[in-house]
């Protein structure tokens, strides 16, 4: 993948204040998946947070959120909150200062090479609390891995992305976690016939 194209894409979105481009109904669905894993005092880590539209909705009175993103403009758009700490870092390079109860990796794998993906999983496994959950969500190929590189009519720009096969991604996660639950999204959210949105809920570090 051409990392320069990916970097330009996200710099532009950060400058425009745009993070998610999915419908509000998908956000509600994701909250329904994640909320059961957020208890009192939950320590949440959002890797590739963007403006943290999802993770800030998970915050409770005693919970804490660390939002990590490569682009400072995204982090600057997160409303000030004493419960939130922001870190400007590439997710591949982020070093865990503490253990977290819930780690989110939403929409990030699409722009990682497989070696980078594995590095992020390995670090997450080491930085996950004993009873914690890593939630990895991205668009996945229904068959073998799919890559796109060209002009996107829907995004109106050059777009580069990687859509891992579901079983292959689950296997990569299985190198580091004893339990990997595959949660496909409802078909209503699928815009393309050969890909689907999937959340992998991972627990019990190996």
Please provide the DSSP assignment of the chain as one string: --HHHHHHHHHHHHHHT----S-HHHHHHHHHHHGGG--TT-EEEEET-TT-TTGGGG--TT-EEEEEES-HHHHHTSPP-TTEEEEE--TTT---SS-EEEEEEES-GGGS-HHHHHHHHHHHHHHEEEEEEEEEEEEEESSS-EEEEEEETTTTEEEEEEE-BHHHHHHHHHTTEEEEEEEEPPGGG--STTEEEEEEEEEEE-
Per-residue model confidence as pLDDT tens digits over 141-177:
999 999 987 776 666 668 788 999 999 999 999 999 9
pTM for the whole structure: 0.95
Q: What is the pLDDT of residue 152?
A: 67
Q: What is the pLDDT of residue 155?
A: 63
- Tokens 């208890």 belong to 39
Per-residue model confidence as pLDDT tens digits over 78-94:
999 999 999 999 999 99
Angle at the Cα of 27 from the Cα atoms of 92 and 173, rounded to 5 degrees: 35
CB 172 within 8 A of CB 114: yes
Per-residue model confidence as pLDDT tens digits over 23-79:
889 999 999 999 999 999 999 999 999 999 999 999 999 999 999 999 999 999 999
**Distance in angstroms (rounded) separating the CA atoms of residues 51 and 76:** 8
Per-residue model confidence as pLDDT tens digits over 101-122:
999 999 999 999 999 999 999 9
Backbone angles phi, psi at 106, to 5 degrees: -110, 120
Q: What is the pLDDT of residue 82?
A: 97
Q: What is the pLDDT of residue 2?
A: 80
pLDDT at 6 over 80: no
- For the chain, which domains are there? 3-205 (3.40.50.150)
């Amino acid at each position: 993948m051409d990392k320069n194209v990916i970097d330009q894409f996200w710099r532009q979105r950060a400058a425009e204040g745009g993070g998610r481009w999915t419908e509000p109904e998908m956000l509600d669905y994701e909250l329904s998946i994640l909320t059961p894993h957020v208890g009192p005092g939950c320590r949440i880590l959002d890797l590739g947070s963007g403006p943290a539209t999802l993770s800030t909705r998970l915050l409770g009175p005693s919970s804490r959120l660390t939002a990590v993103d490569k682009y400072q403009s995204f982090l600057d758009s997160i409303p000030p909150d004493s419960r939130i700490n922001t870190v400007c870092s590439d997710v591949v390079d982020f070093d865990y200062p503490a253990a977290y109860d819930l780690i989110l990796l939403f929409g990030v794998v699409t722009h990682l090479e497989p070696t980078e993906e594995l590095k992020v999983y390995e670090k997450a496994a080491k930085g996950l609390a004993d009873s914690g959950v890593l939630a990895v969500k991205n668009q996945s190929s229904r068959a073998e891995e799919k890559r796109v590189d060209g002009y996107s009519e829907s995004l109106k720009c050059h777009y580069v992305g990687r859509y891992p096969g579901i079983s292959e991604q689950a296997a990569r996660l299985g190198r580091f976690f004893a339990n990997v639950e595959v949660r496909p999204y409802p078909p209503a959210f699928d815009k393309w016939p050969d890909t689907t949105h999937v959340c992998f809920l991972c627990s019990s570090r190996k």
